[in-house]
Amino acid sequence: MTGRQLQLLFLVLAILAVAYASPYEASFQENKFSSLAKETYFEQPVGHLNYIDDETWMQRLFTTDTYFQSGGPLFFYTGNEGPIESFMDNSGFIFTLAQEFKALLVFAEHRYYGKSLPFGNASFTKENIKYLSAEQALADFAVLVQSLKEQYKINKVVSFGGSYGGMLSAWFRFKYPNVVDGALAASAPIYIVAGGITPRTAFFEKATQDFAKANSQCPVFVREAYTMIADMAKQGDAGLQKITDAFSLCTPLKSDRVAHLEGWVRNSFTQLAMVDYPYPANFLAPLPANPVSYSCNLLLTATDRLKGLAQAAGLFYNGTAGRLPCNDIETQFIECADPTGCGTGPAATSWDYQACTEMSLPSDTNNMTDMFPPTIFDPSAYCEKTWGAKHRKGWMDTQFWGKNILAASNIIFSNGNLDPWSVGGVQQNLSDSLVAIMIEGGAHHLDLRSANPKDPPAVIAARKLERDTIAKWIK
């Protein structure tokens, strides 16, 4: 059987599997959606707000017209801060909806991420990266959607997104209601990034609460292990060597990198809280079911407190198999303008720039309401040195409305109660058409993922409500 025949066979099996299930409980095989879509490129202006320079670039997108029928809607995913395939492969619910509503399905990659680089490898210079912003990305989406509407004779458009993509989906409806008819903004912390609305410590407090919910002793042990690190570091080379051994570090820990190690641990715990799904998943990392409880168990059952912290934090970087012989904290965790983590690779560079310029992000820890060493984070000096950029305080609040969003309509804001980002999301209905859904037992945009037998009842109910609301928009 040829590769093409295998691909067609998979598609038929996927469709048959969904055909015999209710629309919001159907499930596709995880991480196979990119095989159902066609990769294409769309020409965009480099600067939508510049009427003199006519330079263009090619934006990458993935299109699935398998389910589309004439007169059907467009379901449009507003791409995140990374290659679009990762988000497409973890958004099975949208594929399920597209099949039911006979929709054209398009996943658009965000400029300066993945392969959508306006200046190729030179996109990350100070001169060229200045065209990276949420405003420019939204303009890309609007121009693309208008073209798709004309090409496929589409009347109704619904945008989808999770996390930063969820914020973009909501802002897309805010800014271009003439282009998009409704939006599902999953795990979209629009209040955090606006600045001054959410307390600076709220994100890390929520992450700590997730670990306390798994086991009340877990944050206690984390604090004690952090104290051990600080005490050992004061012992000089002998103490630093003990830390190196406990964490299986690839290179001996130096005194000026102790804070970096502490950040490496914190980054792991916040990421584990974000993707605390009730089944094994491979979104940000290959992880077991309920990774928060899993890591807590590693910490609580270890005979040595420090090694327990190393094992618990190492889960995110090294999985359960422990394939890495040692932990290279310098490559696994990159400090940047976002204290919750920028990730690694080129995408981290782009997000670092956005964190320096337009995004207000959670920053401080206090070791009282959270389990992390006290920090007051101010990236202004770093941002000016790295990018020559100064954060425009209040601009995001002005540009994307802050908390004054009642003029908007047709937006679903969904959040999981396990997700640290939920503290900056819309958690209450604001009007009949600004609907908030809180998902008990849900982590970061769990509702966008494929249905799974281990899904909590709340996410099944959330998907049904989302499906019914979208049906009203496109009727």
CA separation, residue 230 to residues 226, 234, 235, 262, 444 (Å)? 6, 7, 9, 9, 32
Report CA dihedral (283, 362, 165, 418) to the nearest 10 degrees.
50
Residues that are catalytic: 163, 419, 444
Q: Which residue has the tokens 């019914």?
A: 468
Q: Which residue has the tokens 């003990």?
A: 242
Kindly state the helix (H) or strand (E) to which residue 456 belongs, with its residue range. Answer: none
Q: Which residue has the tokens 């310029």?
A: 357
CA separation, residue 115 to residues 11, 35, 37, 89, 447 (Å)? 26, 17, 16, 17, 27
Q: Which residues contact 69 (CB under 8 A, 6 or more apart)?
A: 102
Which residue, among 12, 30, 39, 18, has the nearest Cα to 99 in the 3D structure? 18
Please give the distance of CA 152 from its chain centroid, rounded to a whole number.
30
Structure tokens at 211: 């670990």
Q: Which pairing describes strands 56-64 and 104-108: parallel, antiparallel, or unpaired?
A: antiparallel
User: Side chain identity at 94, as an amino acid letter?
Assistant: I
Q: What sign has the CA pseudo-torsion 380, 381, 386, 387? A: positive
